[in-house]
């Protein structure tokens, strides 16, 4: 039996959630909710694939799993995510407009943009380079885990580094302190001489870049193809994940992998899975609901406990989330 194949599928699926979740944590920690994640992922997936396809003439030797066209494609995906995030931060931070309206508009816009730019490259997977897996020497020899964790593509490895890095930046650096302060108490941050809007812009743009990268990962690394509807609206799960992860990068890692397990195993549960001697059968529609159900559960539990300041600090929801800041 080849259990490592399923475990590998979980790692691959979870990475798709993990990267944009880290980005959204930064945006929300600074006080800006970005519901445009799905749009940025779709546009990033289409744009990166289109870029790599258009540059196909330059395809050459591979470096760390990808040739020059793939690397430029990945950068293009991040750039597109960033540009779309700029729309959101312009409307919601500079103009102080409603973040929810702007975010939803961004998702619809990004999905349309992806369809538009991606139209010409549907079915062009043969001519387009893909990001290959590269195994890490020595680590790949570890039984089971070597094949599962260290025989992946470079974006998966990046996600391993991203989590502790994000934690370190958010909780152990001055920049992280500024981001959190801006999300908790922008007025005092402003009085301390922190440029609140600049910090919020930067955080939202960082979130956009990671969402774009997640889209590029989907089209250039995981599937090696683009077609409309490629995400099946799974970008929304990221919004849910940020809440479930209590705005903490380490929890985001755990949450993403739990959701990844559900994603892969929902297909198994439809036929019944043996858990400790019991056969558990669950409808795959029910499994699709779980991320959202658990989010609702967390919101309810969170709001019941929110009165206790200690618990609130534990939960980590930024106080000023979605609240505009007027600096004059």
Q: Which residues of this protein are in contact with other proteins, per CB under 8 A?
A: 1-6, 8-9, 13, 16, 86-87, 90, 94-95, 109, 112-113, 115-116, 119-126, 218, 222-225, 227-232, 234, 263-265, 267-268, 270-272, 279, 283-285, 288, 328
Q: Is 281 left (phi over 0), alpha (psi -120 to 50) or beta?
A: beta
Dihedral angle sign, alpha carbons of residues 86, 89, 95, 97: positive
Cβ proximity to other proteins: between 107 and 251 the closer is: 107
Alpha-carbon gap, residue 144 to 314, rounded angstroms: 35
Cβ proximity to other proteins: between 143 and 309 the closer is: 143
**129 CB-side CA count, 13 A:** 25
Could you tell me the smallest distance in angstroms from the CB atom of residue 2 to other proteins? 5
Cβ proximity to other proteins: between 126 and 138 the closer is: 126
Alpha-carbon gap, residue 131 to 136, rounded angstroms: 15
Could you tell me the smallest distance in angstroms from the CB atom of residue 6 to other proteins? 4
Could you tell me the smallest distance in angstroms from the CB atom of residue 274 to other proteins? 11
Cβ proximity to other proteins: between 110 and 318 the closer is: 110
Could you tell me the smallest distance in angstroms from the CB atom of residue 162 to other proteins? 21
Cβ proximity to other proteins: between 185 and 227 the closer is: 227
* Residue whose tokens read 């494609």: 73
Cβ proximity to other proteins: between 167 and 263 the closer is: 263
Contact 231, 41 (CB under 8 A): yes
**Burial environment of residue 111 by CB neighbours within 10 A (0 to 12, 13 to 18, 19 or more):** buried
Could you tell me the smallest distance in angstroms from the CB atom of residue 175 to other proteins? 23
Could you tell me the smallest distance in angstroms from the CB atom of residue 7 to other proteins? 8
Cβ proximity to other proteins: between 16 and 167 the closer is: 16
Which of 239, 251, 256, 241 lies closest to 171 in space, CA to CA? 251
Contact 47, 114 (CB under 8 A): yes
Cβ proximity to other proteins: between 146 and 224 the closer is: 224
Could you tell me the smallest distance in angstroms from the CB atom of residue 123 to other proteins? 4
Could you tell me the smallest distance in angstroms from the CB atom of residue 118 to other proteins? 9
Could you tell me the smallest distance in angstroms from the CB atom of residue 177 to other proteins? 25
Cβ proximity to other proteins: between 191 and 279 the closer is: 279
């Amino acid at each position: 039996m080849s259990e490592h194949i399923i475990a590998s599928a979980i790692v691959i699926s979870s990475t798709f959630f993990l990267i944009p979740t880290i980005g959204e944590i930064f945006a929300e920690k600074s006080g800006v909710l970005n519901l445009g994640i799905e749009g940025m992922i779709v546009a990033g997936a289409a744009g990166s694939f289109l870029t790599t396809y258009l540059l196909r003439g330059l395809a050459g030797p591979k470096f760390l799993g990808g040739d020059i066209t793939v690397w430029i494609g990945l950068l293009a995906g991040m750039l597109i995510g960033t540009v779309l995030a700029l729309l959101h931060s312009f409307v919601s931070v500079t103009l102080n407009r409603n973040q929810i309206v702007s975010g939803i508009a961004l998702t619809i816009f990004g999905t349309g943009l992806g369809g538009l730019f991606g139209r010409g490259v549907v079915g062009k997977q043969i001519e387009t380079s893909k990001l290959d897996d590269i195994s890490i020497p020595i680590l790949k020899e570890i039984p089971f885990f070597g094949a599962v964790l260290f025989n992946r593509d470079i974006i998966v490895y990046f996600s391993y580094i991203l989590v502790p890095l994000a934690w370190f930046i958010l909780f152990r650096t001055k920049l992280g302190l500024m981001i959190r302060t801006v999300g908790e108490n922008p007025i005092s941050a402003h009085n301390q001489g922190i440029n609140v809007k600049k910090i919020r812009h930067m955080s939202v743009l960082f979130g956009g870049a990671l969402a774009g990268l997640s889209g590029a990962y989907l089209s250039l690394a995981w599937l090696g193809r683009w077609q409309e509807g490629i995400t099946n609206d799974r970008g929304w799960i990221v919004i849910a994940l940020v809440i479930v992860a209590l705005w903490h990068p380490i929890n985001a890692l755990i949450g993403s992998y739990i959701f990844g397990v559900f994603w892969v195993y929902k297909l198994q549960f439809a036929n019944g899975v043996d858990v400790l001697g019991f056969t558990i059968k669950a409808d795959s529609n029910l499994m699709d609901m779980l991320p959202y159900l658990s989010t609702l559960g967390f919101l309810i539990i969170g709001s019941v406990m929110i009165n206790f300041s200690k618990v609130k600090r534990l939960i980590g929801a930024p106080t000023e989330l979605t609240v505009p800041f007027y600096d004059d």
